[in-house]
């Protein structure tokens, strides 16, 4: 959601805070700010909008300091403005915060009753006041901090500096992650390993409930009970710090073209190309379960829906998929022989993490398909089934999605084998098909010229419908999500057969319909649905393959994807819908990598 950095350093802190915030901007980008000790006093610089606005402020009003905190914001309480930008201050205390303080209204009323006044509409400001009032009551800094934490309800990661304590940065984690970075005679606090990546690759992950006091020499970490604990640093891969666009205009464009490699790396963890077998990295035996319950959000949820089709079709394994924000608040009927699978790029999405914990509390074993191996989900699950997409920076997920679908498809083959739904020959055939996916995805990404031309027309539309059947209906929903996110055009994805039950009323000459129509056993049905659209004047765009093309050329504008077996068709058709959304957004001139109102990692409910 928001990004946090704290530094107790030896060299000028302002450029270092900015460098780190650039890596955190994917978390939120509606305002940014820093605060640091200049000649013993805390000075603050803040700006509404992108980080470059804060950089401009710092150019005209530089800060000379070596210790400070920084923040990039995704607004929850209070609209994006300089006044609501972090850091927030009260008395001696300056705070940056990621998350939501749920009881802020009652705390604010109490603090106001004590004569304290507030300058922002944020929930964060109450934290600064609470700590300051504990300091005023005579408590030393760490105790004052702990006393304030004990009053907070909700989800938060905090970094705090206190006037008069120029070599101290305090941090706390309750929900959203927070890491401590260990340097040589300097220390760092960050929302994730990327935040401290420019300065160190030795990182401790704070546990839920931990709080920490950093000075230049090290960190003292305490758990929620106040007991001092050890959180030894780990070496993290330096690739976490590599985030370059290369020759591409946007990260999203690069990440679409990174997909063959992302899928190949991911499959290497699941497929044995010598024995032509698929297996979960930990050898999980799918014959020990009767059901799968998938939980995820957004794009990861659609990857889960595709997996449902495949698990049931090929492995005969009943599979339920639910958006995590719903699952966590109901009482799902779970059996002991159910495996819960959480799917997530970041491994930090608050709803998915809470759903995972909910399933655990219900006695379920948990596996996670996750892209960040050091994330909270990776650490909390019983089984870690990684994707190897590398860091994904564009807010609209692309390569993480195909990496998830490829890992899940490999697991489907493993499950089909273990459950004796396929023999050795059939398993080898399926593995061979999946090994072909990276090449076919690369080929699919070459259809850019047709896609660009169609996207130009799409950029004029107000509403767009996406249709597909079987697993392609989930890809249709993912296509609609991509378009909404980055082009701000209203779009919906439907199972093609549902069109006649209502949505067809939306069809007119101004409402393009995009059909995902591989030439498979359901092709003719989809073709009929497209006739129904054409008969009502709706412009039709069909993503199909060479065998489907002649049947659709009189009804639709075509984007040709490579022919693919149904097992891997969702992977092979994915680049077309991603590129369509991408070029539509480019034609519209929107901010592709950082679309309005969104953030890469949603660590609040
Ligand atoms: O990090 P996660 O995979 O858990 O994130 C889940 C969703 O927030 C994410 O997929 C979101 O829908 C993307 N912006 C989609 O492009």
pLDDT at residue number 241 = 42
**Residue 366: closest CA among 300, 304, 476, 292:** 292
User: What atom of ligand 1 comes closest to residue 349's alpha carbon?
Assistant: 4
Q: If you take atom 9 of ligand 1, which residue's CA is the nearest one?
A: 298
Residue range 169-215, pLDDT digits in tens: 999 999 888 999 999 999 999 998 889 999 998 999 899 899 999 99
**Residue 307: closest CA among 383, 406, 400:** 406
pLDDT at residue number 175 = 80
Q: Which residues contact 167 (CB under 8 A, 6 or more apart)?
A: 8, 67, 215, 216
d(CA 401, CA 275): 27
Judged against a pLDDT cut of 70, whether residue 312 lies above it is answered with yes
Give the Å distances, CA to CA, from 146 to 20, 132, 229, 286.
27, 12, 15, 46
Domain boundary among 405, 436, 467: 436
Q: Which of 252, 300, 477 to mutate to test the pocket of ligand 1 (most atoms within 8 A of CB)?
A: 300
Catalytic residue among 2, 146, 297, 421: 2
- CATH of residue 527's domain is 3.40.50.10490
Residue range 224-245, pLDDT digits in tens: 999 999 999 988 765 444 566 7
User: Which range among 137-141, 231-235, 562-566 shows the weakest confidence by mean pLDDT?
Assistant: 231-235
Q: Is residue 284 part of a domain?
A: yes
Domain boundary among 186, 212, 241: 241
Claim to verify: residue 77 and residue 221 sit in the same structural domain? yes
pLDDT at residue number 391 = 87
Claim to verify: residue 343 and residue 407 sit in the same structural domain? yes
Residue 139 a catalytic site member: no
Give the Å distances, CA to CA, from 487 to 154, 456, 460.
33, 12, 10
Claim to verify: residue 472 and residue 344 sit in the same structural domain? no
CB of 300 shorter than 6 A to ligand 1: yes
Q: How many domains does the chain have?
A: 3
pLDDT at residue number 176 = 82
Claim to verify: residue 120 and residue 44 sit in the same structural domain? yes
Domain boundary among 436, 469, 487: 436
pLDDT above 90 covers a percentage of the chain that reads: 81
* Positions of E strands within 310-453: 319-323, 338-344, 365-370, 383-386
Claim to verify: residue 577 and residue 522 sit in the same structural domain? yes
Tokens matching residue 102 = 């749920």
CB of 345 shorter than 6 A to ligand 1: yes
Q: Is residue 50 part of a domain?
A: yes
Q: Is residue 565 part of a domain?
A: yes
Confirm if 87 and 34 have CB atoms less than 8 A apart.
yes
Q: What value does the mean pLDDT of the chain take?
A: 93
d(CA 300, CA 298): 5
Question: Residue 288: helix, strand or coil by DSSP?
Answer: helix
Counting other chains too, the contacts that 494-503 makes at CB distance below 8 Å and 24 or more residues apart are: 494/465, 494/466, 494/467, 495/467, 495/468, 495/469, 496/467, 496/468, 496/469, 496/525, 496/526, 496/529, 497/469, 497/525, 497/529, 499/465, 499/467, 499/529, 499/532, 499/533, 500/529, 500/532, 503/465
User: What atom of ligand 1 comes closest to residue 299's alpha carbon?
Assistant: 10
d(CA 536, CA 505): 9
Beta bridge partners of 204: 180
Cα(294) to ligand 1 centroid in Å equals 15
Confirm if 189 and 17 have CB atoms less than 8 A apart.
no
Confirm if 68 and 11 have CB atoms less than 8 A apart.
no
pLDDT above 70 covers a percentage of the chain that reads: 98
pLDDT at residue number 77 = 80
pLDDT at residue number 237 = 67
Residue 483: domain span: 446-588
């Amino acid at each position: 959601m928001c990004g946090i950095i704290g530094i107790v350093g030896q060299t000028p802190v302002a450029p270092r805070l900015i460098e780190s915030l650039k890596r955190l901007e994917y978390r939120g980008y509606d305002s940014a700010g820093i605060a640091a000790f200049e000649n013993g006093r805390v000075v603050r610089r803040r700006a509404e909008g992108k980080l470059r606005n804060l950089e401009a402020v710092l150019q005209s009003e530089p800060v000379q300091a070596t210790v400070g905190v920084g923040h990039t914001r995704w607004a929850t309480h209070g609209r994006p403005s300089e006044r609501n930008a972090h850091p927030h201050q009260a008395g001696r205390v300056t705070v940056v915060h990621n998350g939501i303080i749920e009881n802020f209204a009652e705390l604010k009323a109490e603090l106001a009753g004590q004569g304290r006044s507030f300058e922002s509409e944020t929930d964060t400001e109450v934290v600064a006041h609470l700590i300051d009032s504990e300091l005023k009551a005579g408590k030393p800094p760490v105790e004052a901090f702990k006393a304030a934490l004990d009053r907070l309800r909700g989800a938060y990661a905090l970094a705090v500096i206190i006037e008069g304590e120029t070599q101290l940065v305090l941090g706390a984690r309750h929900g959203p992650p927070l890491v401590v970075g260990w340097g040589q005679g300097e220390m760092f606090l960050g929302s994730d390993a990327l935040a401290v990546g420019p300065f160190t690759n030795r990182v401790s992950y704070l546990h839920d409930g931990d709080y920490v006091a950093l000075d230049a020499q090290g960190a003292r970490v305490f758990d929620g009970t106040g007991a001092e604990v050890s959180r030894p640093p780990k070496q993290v891969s330096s690739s976490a710090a590599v985030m370059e666009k290369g020759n591409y205009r946007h990260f999203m464009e690069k990440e679409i073209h990174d997909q063959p490699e992302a899928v190949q790396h991911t499959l290497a963890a699941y497929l044995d190309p010598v024995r032509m077998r698929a297996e979960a990295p930990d050898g999980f035996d799918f014959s020990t379960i009767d059901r799968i319950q998938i939980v995820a959000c957004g794009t990861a949820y659609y990857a889960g829906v595709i997996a449902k089709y495949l698990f049931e079709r090929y492995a005969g394994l009943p599979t339920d998929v639910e958006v995590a924000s719903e699952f966590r608040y109901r009482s799902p009927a779970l059996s002991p022989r159910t495996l819960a699978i959480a799917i997530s790029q970041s491994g930090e999405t608050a709803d998915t993490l809470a759903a995972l914990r909910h399933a655990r509390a219900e006695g379920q074993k948990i596996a996670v398909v996750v892209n960040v191996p050091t994330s909270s989900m990776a650490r909390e699950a019983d089984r870690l089934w990684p994707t190897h997409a590398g860091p994904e920076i564009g807010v609209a997920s692309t390569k993480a999605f195909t990496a998830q679908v490829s890992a899940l498809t490999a697991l489907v083959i493993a499950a089909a084998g273990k459950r004796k739904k396929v023999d050795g020959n059939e398993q080898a055939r399926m593995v061979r098909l999946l090994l072909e996916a990276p090449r076919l995805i690369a080929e699919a990404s070459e259809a850019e010229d047709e896609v660009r031309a169609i996207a130009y027309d799409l950029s004029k539309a107000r509403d767009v419908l996406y249709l597909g059947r079987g697993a392609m209906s989930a890809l249709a929903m993912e296509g609609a999500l991509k378009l909404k996110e980055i082009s701000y055009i209203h779009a919906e994805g439907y199972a093609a057969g549902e069109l006649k039950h209502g949505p067809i009323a939306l069809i007119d000459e101004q409402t393009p319909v995009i059909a995902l129509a591989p030439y498979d056993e359901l092709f003719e049905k989809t073709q009929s649905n497209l006739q129904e659209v054409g008969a009502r004047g709706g412009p039709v765009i069909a993503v199909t393959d060479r065998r489907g093309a002649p049947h659709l050329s009189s009804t639709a504008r075509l984007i040709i994807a490579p022919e693919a077996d149904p097992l891997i068709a969702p992977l092979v058709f994915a680049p077309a819908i991603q590129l369509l959304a991408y070029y539509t957004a480019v034609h519209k001139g929107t901010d592709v990598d950082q679309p309005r109102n969104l953030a890469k990692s949603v660590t609040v409910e």
